[in-house]
Amino acid sequence: NQEELNNVILRKRKLAYGVHDVWIKNDLIGRQAKPGQFVIVRISEKGERIPLTIAESNGEAFRIVVKAVGKSTYELCSLNEGDILYDVVGPLGKPSEIKYHGNVLIIGGGVGIAAILPIAKALKSAGNNITVIIGARTIQDLILRDEFTFADKLLPTTDDGSFGYKGNVIDAMKIELEKENYNVIWSIGPAIMMKLSSEIATKYNIPIWVSLNSIMIDGTGMCGGCRTVIKTDNSEKIQYVCVDGPEFDGRYVDWDSFIKRLNQYKEQEKLALERYLK
């Protein structure tokens, strides 16, 4: 029976333009995954290894939400139910700090909304009062908005005003912080969004967890591809997103060097995608 094979795609559903919701059979990951952790998948023997956040797990399978932005994510999104991934490693990374914090503000931008889903659920179960801001470019891109009904307060935003508050998640965050006191923030989405939300959290002196979407290769701390500078007033240290993260307090991330590293292979990535699409 095909459905019993590890790493087989059990279900695939399109959520938005270029964004797919995929359930993958894997007992080990399905049983052990904790909020905040991720997997590294390889589509074929010669394929690149790509990290993806675990959006949900159920004991036998796990769920990822993937946006096609380059060669490997396009390839992954072209697979169908019944196809088998060449390999899957995980769960990787340190789980999120799930405990009672009090008032928690959780922000998800674009496909980052999928990454905050398990964290928000677990924080709610731990007794926190949770406010969730989810934002996307348009209503069509605002994924999983029906899955956050458990939140104490849900604030959807769209850049074009087609649903919810008209503006980006940063605008909504500023308004919310003027109204309420928060003990901790989670913010996951594009690097620029995580950088801007971290700057605001710094002003308010609130810890903010961000999940860094760095370039990553082996996922075990050996290759150094995901190395990131974490700076406090009196120290500066190199951390590896794969084993020390992926979550860090955004107030201490050296955002300029992080964003620079993220863009270092842009030209090669563009060429690889052009070749793949030909």
What is residue 98's three-state secondary structure? Answer: coil
Closest among 131, 247, 108, 110 to 188, alpha carbons compared: 108
CB contact at 8 A, 106 and 185: yes
Member of 187, 214, 228, 239 binding ligand FAD (CB under 6 A): 214
188 belongs to the binding site for ligand NAD (CB under 6 A): yes
Member of 33, 88, 169, 184 binding ligand NAD (CB under 6 A): 169
Q: What is the DSSP letter of 203?
A: H
CB contact at 8 A, 48 and 12: no
Closest among 60, 87, 66, 57 to 12, alpha carbons compared: 66
Q: Footprint of ligand NAD on residues 80-119 (CB under 6 A)?
A: 109-112, 115
- Give the per-residue contact string, 111-150, with ligand FAD (x = CB under 6 A; - = no): x--xx-----------------------------------
Only segment of 94-102, 117-125, 209-217, 230-238 that touches ligand NAD (CB under 6 A): 209-217
Only segment of 149-157, 159-167, 211-219, 227-235 that touches ligand FAD (CB under 6 A): 211-219
211 belongs to the binding site for ligand NAD (CB under 6 A): yes
Only segment of 177-185, 190-198, 200-208, 267-275 that touches ligand NAD (CB under 6 A): 190-198
173 belongs to the binding site for ligand NAD (CB under 6 A): no
Beta bridge partners of 68: none
Burial 51-71 (b: 16+ CB within 10 A, else e): bbbbbbbeebbbbbbbbbebb
Beta bridge partners of 231: 236
Residues that bind ligand FAD (CB under 6 A): 38, 48, 50-53, 64-67, 69-73, 111, 114-115, 213-214, 216, 241, 246, 266, 269, 272
